[in-house]
Amino acid sequence: MLTKRIIPCLDIKNGRTVKGVNFVNLRDAGDPVELAKQYAEVGADELVFLDISATLEGRKTMREMVLKVAEQVNIPFTVGGGISSVEDVDVLLKCGADKISINSSAIKRPELINELSQKFGSQCVVVAIDAKQIDGNWFVHLAGGTIPTDLDLFEWSKEVEQRGAGEILFTSMDHDGTKAGFANEALAKLSDLVNIPIIASGGAGSVEHFVDTFKEGKSDAALAASVFHFGEIPIPELKRELKNNNIEVRL
């Protein structure tokens, strides 16, 4: 049985960690390098850094921050935001990132997924998908959730797997920041549909929500931000509770 992973997500804007609700109303959550170090020490399995304004503002992800994080942590970390070429990825991996995450750039030019997995291996390529339910169907959004597309979540997920993605990071925009639980029905459907790991994102508010997404949502990993940043759910406590629910985690 594969170990389930707990992944704090650090949304970065102007060099600071921020957190909002439904992708808006952002508030400051601290220094990303300091937070990363703390998370590594308390038992996080991986970290994700997303430069949430990079695509909108046409900037590249902060290389200096990646270098600093690589010096401070001994767990794998993923970097995303403003990545649109093999060159971008090459720089970030050389700075110390273990994986990269692409979202809008993959939708605009799906061949990028093929290029990256062929050059760096699929284990380095995470495709992030932000989706929202409209009239019962899940539609993919791009540019930090600001632009709707007519892409279906499940069709797009199948395509990214076929193109060589190693993981899918699925964020339910309807659940993001609400602390009302993950989109487990959609997650379970995704998990049945593709053979690559699915990271659940959007909606974590309690320990039970993590238990539910691993059991009902069939998620391989669960990602959260504010409940970790603001100390609402300590990671050691969360992992003990998962273990008590017969969910295999690294303690």
Give catalytic residues, as residue numbers. 11, 130
CB environment 57-70: b (16+ within 10 A), e (fewer): eeebbbbebbbbbb
**CA–CA distance from 40 to each of 29, 30, 44, 75, 76 (Å)?**
17, 16, 5, 6, 9
Sign for the CA dihedral angle at 186, 191, 194, 197 comes to: positive
**Strand pairing partners for 141?**
130, 148
Residue 4, φ and ψ in degrees, nearest 5: -80, 145
Q: How many CB atoms lie within 10 A of CB 29?
A: 18
Alpha helices, H only, 59-179: 63-72, 86-95, 104-108, 111-120, 153-163
Give residues with Cβ within 8 angstroms of 103, minimum separation 6. Answer: 55, 80, 127, 128, 129, 130, 142
Q: Which two tokens stand for residue 132?
A: 């929202």
Q: CA-CA distance, 29 to 11, in Å (whole number)?
A: 9
